[in-house]
Chains A and B, each alone.
With several copies, the nearest count.
Chain A
Amino acid sequence: MRYLPHMDADRQSMLADIGVEHIDELFRDVPAAALLKEPITSLPNHATELEVERMLSRMAGRNTPASAVPFFIGCGAYKHHVPASVDHLIQRGEFLTSYTPYQPEIAQGTLQYLFEFQTQVARLTGMEVANASMYDGSTATTEAIFMARRITRRKKALISAGVHPHYVDVAKALAKVSGDELVIGTPELAKGKPGGDYEALLGQIDKTTSCVVVQNPNLFGYVADLTELAEACHANGALLVVVVTEVVSLGLMKSPGEMGADIVVGEGQSIGNGLNYGGPYLGLFACREKFVRQMPGRLCGETVDADGRRGYVLTLSTREQHIRREKATSNICTNSGLCALAFTIHLSLLGEAGLRQLAQFNHARAVQAAERLAKVPGVEVLNDAFFNEFTIRLSKPSRDVVRELGNRDILAGVALSRLYPTETALHDGVVLAVTEIVTESDIEALAKGLEEVLSC
């Protein structure tokens, strides 16, 4: 076995040094009935690199990569171009094969980039502090709801109809056991602002509300000014939690912080990370400094070494499970370190100017797409305002149309029936994301495809 350095002779002599004859003497505590006498026969034995490569390549070959076709799928995961240097750098063994920086003196590489990452996330979201990452946007959202409960000592969270339904489902599964009460909006394909239920939310906020959770841009791509909502929250002692699933939007749009958010969570996949069929992704978590001791997850902080030189360490760990155990703010341990590295590298390559240009391009391309699709008979573009994603209503059931376009090698967005199987009112809707990878001819191909499919 190429990964195991011992030869049988080594094993024998090491056993002798230990003072036993057979390896199973070291497994003496295992109840005899449970100790397997030989390798599990229902699984194959070891394979060469070439064999493994062939098996896995065969499976990979049965999937259609986003780069291979006109591609318009978003809804919480976005296809952006990631510079080659990002993947090169995150593969450096010193990053890839290290772990949580428990020994800061020999983990300054990891700690410094985490400190930089935290600062970038805080600035991007308009918050004062950010942590060193969560699993993904959905779990970060649930953690935010729980954190709001701890801060406000209230249990009722209002969740906008525009929040990604998976995120809502995750919160629901946990609320069941945590005792949080979730009031969840029902999305409508309202002309102009699909999923935009801010009026309704304003009416629901009261002194029992722990927080209001809104997504911006929301699942349907609709973007809105949240200032009024924030004010209503604050007037009632509640917190505004803003979810961002497309962080590239922050290059062009007002930050949640500027609009009054108290906690901003998000999915950071868009920057630095590939689609990866859904994971690993990168949970972002930022908030006002005054809430820092209620934050979940790791925090990296600046300090000095014995010679007074600047250095970084994990800090405020009295919030965390390994110190506080059942009193911890969260049970999270391993998080998304390497994805955070990819994010911070990509974002420092982009810089402010690059991010702004990228966001601008995304928006402009999406506007082009919306304008073109609006001309297709049987297509209605619903959003007034959007960033790089918008919803269309079709004259036919959207799932069939999307599937038919898939057969023509056009991946034409997410049919809302996929996400809301029981909300039949949404079933003629499709959400389309348009990023910098979409060309004008891709848009044309989509428009033509829709024309054909809708007219026949």
Chain B
Amino acid sequence: MLNRQGRPTGTGEGASAEGFTTFTGHKGLDLNEPLIFEIGRGDRTGVDVPDAPKVASRLGGLEREAPIGLPGLSEPEAVRHYTRLSRKNYAIDMGLFPLGSCTMKHNPRLNEKMARLAGFSDIHPLQPQDTVQGALELIDTVAHWLMELTGMPAVAMSPKAGAHGELCGLLAIRAALEARGDAREVVLVPESAHGTNPATAAFCGYRVEEIPATENGRVDFEALKKRLGPDVAAIMLTNPNTCGLFEPDIIKIAEAVHAVGAFFYCDGANFNAIVGKVRPGDLGVDAMHINLHKTFSTPHGGGGPGSGPVVFSEALAPFAPLPYVKKTEERFELVEHLEEGDQSFGRMVAFHGQMGMFVRAASYMLSHGADGLRQAAEDAVLNANYIMAKLQDVMTPAFEGPCMHEALFDDRFLKDTGVTTLDFAKAMIDEGYHPMTMYFPLVVHGAMLIEPTETESRASLDEFIGALRSLAEAAKNGEKERFTAAPHFAPVKRLDETRAARQPVLSYKNTAEPGSVTTPVAAE
């Protein structure tokens, strides 16, 4: 252990393999890294600021006296810190990332370059409109593509992510219902829905009722029809659904929903499977959000930012939120305020939405074109079915028949092996893969939802399939340790999530030794 002279970094114990333990705890290129609070210092800065002009303070006596407790790093230290941290992540750039429902496709670098053009990145949302005509044109361009691709007549660009788009959709639905004096109470959501669907409905003051699935993983149309009535404000349906299946009754469902005066909200998280192949507008959808960070490949960024524009039917268009861009003969105009007679439900966000994501999406759309987007959807579906076909003899598909862009398995193939879906996922880490989405959708036991996306080559799929086949066989052959103790090769071993929740340590408390574990203070 490094102690007399050296800064003991990272996590205490030295690393060992093949009988050797390193003194530093680093292992070759696998480097430990303490927290900035353990490296940085309050008096050090990596940013030079010129001396402030001498003036009499006008802060009104509000000067801060107590120190804040912010460590500073010089630029070399900062670059190293974040480089080292980054190397502890898995990412699309490193390998296949089959996280179902999340569409971890390649993020083209052109998009990043375009988003950094000063004319897009360095303009203020409150600049005079004459100085941002190109920005408004860009927004208008993306809006146009979204409307054409969905066959819907209106789009709200400002929602900040998928869940925010759902909110936008339900707010418009509620406004539309209220406009006709028809307050309704219930939103219907299938069991298989993503958590954001019920959460959004509840956030909007609706009671959420579940509608059951058939054993084929589709909405039980008969059950739905039975439940529909004048108290139902809307149905929220994902299509293709979270089992990776297209809802064959979708048009009938839309008709039935409309028949009782309700609206059809479609969760468009899986639009990537059908873009250019099916226009939701042709299915009777009233509102649908589109995750630009999924279908249109704006990067996921470790958890955002996303962007969730919502397309609307004629019925809902008047209730769409502010602001929006209007194209007149001479110019583009940003409409920020309600005008006399407007029925918009109001504003969802300060300013005008995720401009940086719009630029990336525009770059993606223009690059692919109508033909490329369609091809991307087809390839996404092809890849998922290829995986399904190649794994169905060793793993257990949750449902029969072809899937759309993701292949859903359950854990029957692990029966009596002592290996859980979680263990199986962690063993995939050792094999060089990010695990699939686990335990979602809830309608399937021990679900494993695999979404390869269209940007994986056949060779990449074959390697992945080979790895999963080998693992499935190993599980059946009783190699339990391989799974239950996995991951063996990740930067850390399996983490104790229960402890984290029971004894939450949510911020750094200065402790004695860099790398040491915090004694939790707030026990549940």
Is B349 a contact partner of A73 (Cβ separation < 8 A)?
Answer: no
Is B91 a contact partner of A93 (Cβ separation < 8 A)?
Answer: yes
Is A349 a contact partner of B72 (Cβ separation < 8 A)?
Answer: yes
Is B61 a contact partner of A225 (Cβ separation < 8 A)?
Answer: yes
B372 / chain A contacts, CB cutoff of 8 Å: 1, 3-4, 45-46
Is A109 a contact partner of B88 (Cβ separation < 8 A)?
Answer: yes
How many A residues have CB within 8 A of the partner chain? 218
Interface residues of B in 472-524 (CB under 8 A from A): 485, 487, 490-497, 499-501, 504-508, 515-518, 522
Is A14 a contact partner of B382 (Cβ separation < 8 A)?
Answer: yes
With the chains together, A135 CA to B29 CA distance in Å? 30
Closest to A172 in B: B346
Interface residues of B in 211-265 (CB under 8 A from A): 245-248, 250-251
Contact flags (1/0) for A77-94 with B, using CB distance below 8 Å?
A: 101000111011111111
Checking B299, B351, B497 against A338 with a beta-carbon cut-off of 8 angstroms, the contacting residue is: B299
Is A62 a contact partner of B85 (Cβ separation < 8 A)?
Answer: no
The answer to whether A177 and B73 touch (CB under 8 A), given A280-B160, A292-B506, A351-B45, is no
Is B501 a contact partner of A315 (Cβ separation < 8 A)?
Answer: yes
Interface residues of B in 27-63 (CB under 8 A from A): 28-29, 33, 35-37, 40-63
Is A350 a contact partner of B44 (Cβ separation < 8 A)?
Answer: no
Checking A109, A170, A322, A371 against B87 with a beta-carbon cut-off of 8 angstroms, the contacting residue is: A109
Contact flags (1/0) for A290-333 with B, using CB distance below 8 Å?
A: 00100000111111111111111101111011111111101111
Is B278 a contact partner of A35 (Cβ separation < 8 A)?
Answer: yes
B196 / chain A contacts, CB cutoff of 8 Å: 321-322, 331, 333
* 4 further contact pairs, Cβ within 8 A, besides A62-B134, A109-B87: A3-B74, A279-B356, A333-B195, A385-B60
Is A5 a contact partner of B455 (Cβ separation < 8 A)?
Answer: yes
Could you list 11 examples of A-B contacts with CB < 8 Å? Answer: A35-B278, A56-B363, A94-B87, A97-B93, A275-B122, A310-B515, A310-B517, A315-B506, A338-B305, A348-B72, A350-B45
Q: Say whether chain B's binding surface is mostly helix, strand, loop, or mixed.
A: loop
A455 / chain B contacts, CB cutoff of 8 Å: none
The answer to whether A128 and B507 touch (CB under 8 A), given A18-B389, A56-B138, A307-B493, is yes
Closest to A362 in B: B52
Report if A64 contacts B (CB, 8 A): yes
Report if A454 contacts B (CB, 8 A): no
Stretch at the interface among B101-109, B309-317, B411-419: B101-109
Contact flags (1/0) for A31-63 with B, using CB distance below 8 Å?
A: 101111001111111111101110111111111
With the chains together, A83 CA to B195 CA distance in Å? 38
Is B86 a contact partner of A94 (Cβ separation < 8 A)?
Answer: yes
Report if B78 contacts A (CB, 8 A): yes
With the chains together, A27 CA to B274 CA distance in Å? 9
Is A103 a contact partner of B164 (Cβ separation < 8 A)?
Answer: no
Is B70 a contact partner of A106 (Cβ separation < 8 A)?
Answer: no
Interface centre among A4, A58, A320, A371 (most CB of B within 10 A): A4
Contact flags (1/0) for A371-406 with B, using CB distance below 8 Å?
A: 100000000000111110000000000000011001
Measured CB to CB, the closest approach of chain A to B84, in angstroms, equals 8
Is B52 a contact partner of A363 (Cβ separation < 8 A)?
Answer: yes
Checking B94, B130, B426 against A105 with a beta-carbon cut-off of 8 angstroms, the contacting residue is: B426
Is A106 a contact partner of B429 (Cβ separation < 8 A)?
Answer: yes
Checking A41, A89, A167 against B79 with a beta-carbon cut-off of 8 angstroms, the contacting residue is: A89
